[in-house]
């Protein structure tokens, strides 16, 4: 078996696909030290520069003083603390939903929420470029999967249409009763005929925004639910950073996404600068997740001190217009500065600005060339992105200065001359 694993890894290496890690010696920031060498980095999702913010550090310290370090139990046992509870209420209010549920990570939130809401006999409709955690979530749910071409609302409409009017019967529970069968597996819910459309709001490797309004209209027409993963929009997009549902709001302070069909998920380790995730929705949906989402029920609650830090982060997000305006300025600066390169920036208005290279090895070489110049940009390759679309995923943060972006622009032009 070992030689088999070795062979597989060696094959990945020859394809330019082997993944390795680099160990940081300094906190998350555009200015980092790796192996004793300073780098200017453009690869974090710390879009507002909050990951090392002094007020969040102080809040985490105070939170640990007040609540200790570990939660000690799952939420449903004795691990649900006042700090968690208050944060859930603040998050729900912030995104304009009746209720919210905290999860340990975005990955777990997606796995748990989708598995709790749909199962055998139901259908999920998913954009082909959705995040890997959403794909895994669909598989885990055992609902029938229908994937549509990226952003293709005509195809989504067609798939929804085809699913209408089909008679569906609940399938028998796939696992045997009795001996040996883990109770959590036997309890697998059987549902019938539900439709759930699942999408990233901001696509993580492309930076473009999903046509959420059109999607919601289709969901209304076909009586489907809409699950929106706003990992890269929460804190960054919409008024006061309330997220993608607040882009072009219906009226002041009211996100059009207040539709009860929308189940809104966002992560707290990206723009919010800490860790975790939440799902916000109607109370009955949240109660369902609380009862049925395995990644919620069968895991230890996050340290309550993190919720104290996150409450502080939420305040900084709400008051963070200056940060978001600065970020927008950097995005415009980068796009203007890179418009004449032999490689194209992908069409994106967000802090995710991928430079499409195509070839895996060339993407790696460019990333390496930048590294030699003290600049760190990650090369993203298949299977994270489709074959032939390897890219440099440049991400900007409000913690970058205009001179930092200038340095990246100059370095990429030098590399373009050399190649």
Binding piece for ligand PLP, criterion CB under 6 A, among 90-98, 99-107, 286-294, 296-304:
99-107
H, E, C per residue of 2-49: HHHHHHHHHHHHHCCCCCCCCCECCCCCCEEEECCEEEEECCCCCCCC
Measured distance CA(108)–CA(296) in Å, rounded: 8
Measured distance CA(189)–CA(175) in Å, rounded: 11
x-or-dash string of contact with ligand PLP, 222-241, rule CB under 6 A: -------x-xx---------
Asked if 210 and 199 count as a contact pair (C-beta separation under 8 A), the reply is yes
Instruction: Classify burial at 120, counting beta carbons within 10 Å of its beta carbon; exposed 0-12, middle 13-18, buried 19 or more.
Output: buried
Asked if 377 and 235 count as a contact pair (C-beta separation under 8 A), the reply is no
Residue 120 vs 393, nearer CB to ligand PLP: 393
Residue 80 vs 232, nearer CB to ligand PLP: 232
Rounded to a whole number of angstroms, the minimum distance from the CB of residue 276 to ligand PLP is: 7
Residue 302 vs 389, nearer CB to ligand PLP: 302
Site for ligand PLP in 397-416 (CB under 6 A): none
Measured distance CA(3)–CA(58) in Å, rounded: 49
Residue 269 vs 273, nearer CB to ligand PLP: 269
Binding piece for ligand PLP, criterion CB under 6 A, among 9-17, 19-27, 106-114, 213-221:
106-114
- Interface with ligand PLP, residue 63, by CB under 6 A: no
Site for ligand PLP in 125-154 (CB under 6 A): 131, 133
Q: Tell whether omega for the bond before 300 is within 30 degrees of 0, i.e. cis.
A: no
Rounded to a whole number of angstroms, the minimum distance from the CB of residue 105 to ligand PLP is: 3
The 3-state DSSP class for residue 203 equals coil
Q: Give the one residue of 269, 273, 303, 354 binding ligand PLP; rule: CB under 6 A.
A: 269
Rounded to a whole number of angstroms, the minimum distance from the CB of residue 141 to ligand PLP is: 16
Q: What count of residues does the chain have?
A: 419
Q: State how far the alpha carbon of 208 is from the alpha carbons of 135, 147, 155, 318, 409, in Å.
A: 19, 18, 19, 23, 21
Binding piece for ligand PLP, criterion CB under 6 A, among 31-39, 105-113, 156-164, 212-220:
105-113
Site for ligand PLP in 173-212 (CB under 6 A): 200, 204
Structure tokens that stand for 397 in this block:
């943060």
Angle between helices 54-67 and 304-318 (to 10 degrees): 150
Rounded to a whole number of angstroms, the minimum distance from the CB of residue 86 to ligand PLP is: 21
**How many residues at the interface with ligand PLP, by CB under 6 A?**
14
- Interface with ligand PLP, residue 307, by CB under 6 A: no
Residue 231 vs 338, nearer CB to ligand PLP: 231
Closest CA to 84 of 97, 101, 105, 68: 101
Which parts of this chain interact with ligand PLP (CB under 6 A)? 105-107, 110, 131, 133, 200, 204, 229, 231-232, 267, 269, 277
């Amino acid at each position: 078996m070992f030689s088999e694993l070795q062979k597989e890894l060696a094959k990945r290496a020859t394809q330019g696909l082997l993944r390795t890690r680099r160990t940081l010696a300094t906190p998350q920031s555009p200015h980092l030290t790796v192996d004793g060498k300073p780098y200017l980095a453009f690869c974090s999702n710390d879009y507002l520069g909050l990951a090392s913010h002094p007020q969040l550090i102080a809040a985490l310290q105070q939170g640990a003083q007040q609540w200790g370090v570990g939660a000690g139990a799952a939420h449903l046992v004795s691990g649900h603390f006042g700090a968690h509870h208050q944060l859930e209420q603040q998050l729900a209010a912030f995104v304009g939903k009746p209720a919210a549920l905290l999860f340990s990570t975005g990955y777990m939130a997606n796995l748990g929420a989708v598995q709790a809401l749909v199962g055998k006999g139901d259908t999920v409709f998913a954009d082909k470029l959705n995040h890997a955690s959403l794909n895994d979530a669909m598989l885990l749910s055992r609902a029938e999967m229908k994937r549509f071409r990226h952003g293709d609302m005509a195809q989504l409409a067609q798939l929804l249409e085809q699913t209408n009017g089909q008679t569906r019967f609940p399938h028998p529970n796939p696992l045997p009763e009795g001996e040996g069968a883990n109770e959590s597996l036997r309890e697998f819910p059987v549902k019938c005929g539900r439709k759930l459309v699942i999408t990233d709001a901001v696509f993580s490797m492309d930076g473009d925004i999903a046509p959420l309004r059109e999607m919601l209209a289709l969901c209304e027409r076909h009586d489907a639910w809409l699950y929106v993963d706003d990992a890269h929009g929460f804190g960054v997009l919409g008024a006061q950073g309330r997220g993608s549902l607040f882009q072009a709001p219906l009226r002041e302070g009211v996100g059009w996404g207040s539709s009860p069909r929308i189940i809104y998920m966002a992560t707290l380790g990206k723009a919010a600068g800490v860790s975790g995730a939440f799902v916000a929705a109607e109370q009955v949906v949240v109660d369902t997740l609380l009862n049925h989402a395995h990644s919620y029920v069968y895991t230890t609650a996050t340290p309550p001190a993190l919720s104290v830090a996150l409450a502080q982060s939420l305040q900084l997000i709400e008051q963070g217009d200056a940060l978001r305006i600065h970020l927008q300025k950097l995005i415009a600066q980068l796009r203007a500065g890179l418009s004449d390169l032999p490689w194209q920036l992908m069409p994106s208005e967000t802090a995710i600005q991928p430079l499409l290279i195509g070839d895996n090895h060339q993407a790696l070489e460019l990333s390496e060339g930048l590294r030699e110049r003290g600049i760190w940009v990650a090369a993203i390759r298949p299977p994270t992105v489709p074959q032939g679309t390897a890219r440099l995923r440049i991400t900007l943060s409000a913690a970058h200065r205009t001179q930092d972006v200038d340095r990246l622009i100059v370095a990429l032009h030098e590399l373009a001359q050399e190649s």
